């Protein structure tokens, strides 16, 4: 839902904006809308209280799951970056800030000072060949050689320029095994070359929400500030009692979420075909007293990985609000986009209470290290 406004511009201003639009191939609507949101974002950032525990930045921010986690730990977000326009829309609706776009074009020195860098970065292939060649020639390689051309490189250059006290990175579990472990080796070596003590663990969200969702978290603390004598453990505090699927279900759901006869028949036939071939592919009916499969960004296509059984009806997919709950987002989290975009956004997001638990541990360790330095 949107509203219209009418504004008057002096001719010289209108001509300048028109030229800008032509040069950047964008519409007048987008230019004016972005300018207003940037103004509101700046106003929100200027309202930062002086007594916040720490400041953090939110990179590859998505819809702000990691931000909520660090907000709860007592921090203040001073910068966010997310390129997807629909995710930007959801982010703005909930935090009053428009994340900056394309991180590859951002000057790292322009980013505000911060204590913690937070990023749910995409996993991209790394070129190992160039590194191997340099090694064979006896030449030193650093993160710039190893990671140039990947979005992980942008994290590294920001860490190098701003040197936050700590960072927390999130990615899919398979990052550790990607390219026979070489990708993960490049990542950890690059972070260590930047003089950070690095810790990592694969964690499952099912102790916080009723969803089996494994993700890798990579934590780092600045050796230049704290030295090498740093110890960190993922001592988590799971939710009790353990959440189950029926905890997140809405009492009344629109019939549009019920699978059509055609789609339900297709999914059943597809599953039968793969069962006959000895494969495990197929739809998943969620146990109301158990946990679901992993919610993915493809959920909008047919909802097959997590279906809810209904008496006298075909199964249904989860509603966007139920997907939000499955990821641990609070019920007052605003969903301003279409169902299709919402499914993509929540499927790409994080388990908020798990991230909040780890964020508390990072902040606690940071305070311990700061206190040790001040002794």
CA distance 320 to 302: 13
- pLDDT at residue 89 in the model: 96
Structure tokens at 262: 């055609």
260 secondary structure, DSSP code: P
CA distance 57 to 76: 8
Q: Is 317 helix (H, G, I), strand (E, B) or coil?
A: strand
Contact 123, 172 (CB under 8 A): yes
Secondary structure of the chain: what % helix, strand, coil (to 5)? 45, 15, 40
Instruction: Evaluate whether 53-240+351-374 and 245-347 have a shared fold.
Output: no
- The distance in angstroms from the start CA to the end CA of the chain is 56
CA distance 2 to 340: 18
- Of the residues 77, 123, 156, 323, only one is catalytic, namely 123
Q: Is 123 a catalytic residue?
A: yes
Report cis status (omega within 30 of 0) of the bond before 241: yes
Task: Give the CATH superfamily of 53-240+351-374.
Answer: Vaccinia Virus protein VP39 (3.40.50.150)
Distances (CA, A) of 346 to 119, 301, 325: 16, 14, 9
Q: List all residues 6 or more positions away from 250 whose beta carbon is below 8 Å from its beta carbon.
A: 319, 321, 322
- pLDDT at residue 350 in the model: 97
Q: Is 150 helix (H, G, I), strand (E, B) or coil?
A: coil
**Radius of gyration of the chain from its Cα atoms, rounded to whole angstroms:** 23
**CA of residue 291 relative to chain centroid, distance:** 22
- pLDDT at residue 140 in the model: 45
- Can you point out the beta strands (E) in 89-188? 116-119, 166-172
- Residue 236, classified by CB atoms within 10 Å of its CB into exposed (0-12), middle (13-18) or buried (19+), is middle
Domains of the chain, by residue range, sit at 1-43, 53-240+351-374, 245-347
Mean pLDDT for back-to-back runs of 10 residues, the chain (375 residues): 64 66 68 57 57 91 98 96 96 95 94 97 61 49 62 94 98 85 89 97 97 96 95 94 96 96 93 73 90 94 95 96 98 97 96 98 97 84
- pLDDT at residue 134 in the model: 47
Taking the domain 245-347, which CATH number applies?
3.90.120.10
Report which secondary-structure segment, H or E, holds 156. helix 151-162
Q: Is 192 helix (H, G, I), strand (E, B) or coil?
A: helix
CA distance 79 to 114: 9
- pLDDT at residue 49 in the model: 59
CA distance 100 to 95: 14
- pLDDT at residue 130 in the model: 45
Beta bridge partners, 227, equal none
Query: Per-residue pLDDT tens for 239-279?
Result: 899 999 999 999 999 999 999 999 999 999 988 887 776 66
Query: Per-residue pLDDT tens for 24-53?
Result: 666 766 556 555 555 555 555 555 556 678
- pLDDT at residue 292 in the model: 96
């Amino acid at each position: 839902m949107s509203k219209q406004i009418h504004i008057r511009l002096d001719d010289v201003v209108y001509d300048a904006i028109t030229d800008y639009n032509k040069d950047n191939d964008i519409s007048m609507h987008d230019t004016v809308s972005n300018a207003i949101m940037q103004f509101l974002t700046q106003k929100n950032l200027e309202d930062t209280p002086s007594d916040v525990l720490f400041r953090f930045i939110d990179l590859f921010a998505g819809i702000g799951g990691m931000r909520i986690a660090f907000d709860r730990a007592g921090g203040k977000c001073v910068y966010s970056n997310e390129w997807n326009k629909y995710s930007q829309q959801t982010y703005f609706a909930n935090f009053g800030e428009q994340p900056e776009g394309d991180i590859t074009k951002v000057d790292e020195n322009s980013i505000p000072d911060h204590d913690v860098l937070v990023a749910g970065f995409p996993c991209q292939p790394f070129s190992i060949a160039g590194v191997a060649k340099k090694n064979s020639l006896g030449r030193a390689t650093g993160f710039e050689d190893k990671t140039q051309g990947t979005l992980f490189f942008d994290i590294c250059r920001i860490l190098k320029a701003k040197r936050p006290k700590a960072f927390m990175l999130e990615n899919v579990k398979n990052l550790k095994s990607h390219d026979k472990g070489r990708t993960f080796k490049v990542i950890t070596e690059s972070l260590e070359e930047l003089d950070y003590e690095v810790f990592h663990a694969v964690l499952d969200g099912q102790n916080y929400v009723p969803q089996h969702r494994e993700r890798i978290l990579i934590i780092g603390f600045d050796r230049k500030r704290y030295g090498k004598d740093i110890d960190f453990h993922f001592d988590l505090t799971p939710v009790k009692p353990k959440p189950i699927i029926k905890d997140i279900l809405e009492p009344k759901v629109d019939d549009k979420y019920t699978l059509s006869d055609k789609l339900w028949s297709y999914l059943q036939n597809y599953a039968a075909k793969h069962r006959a071939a000895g494969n495990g592919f197929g739809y998943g009916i969620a146990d109301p007293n158990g946990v679901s499969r992993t919610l993915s960004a493809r959920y909008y296509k047919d909802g097959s990985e997590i279906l809810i059984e209904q008496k006298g009806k075909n199964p249904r997919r989860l509603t966007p609000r139920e997907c939000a709950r499955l990821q641990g987002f609070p019920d007052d989290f605003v969903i301003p986009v279409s169902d299709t975009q919402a499914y993509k956004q929540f499927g790409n997001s994080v388990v908020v209470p798990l991230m909040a638990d780890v964020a508390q541990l990072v902040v606690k360790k940071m305070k311990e290290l700061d206190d040790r330095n001040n002794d």
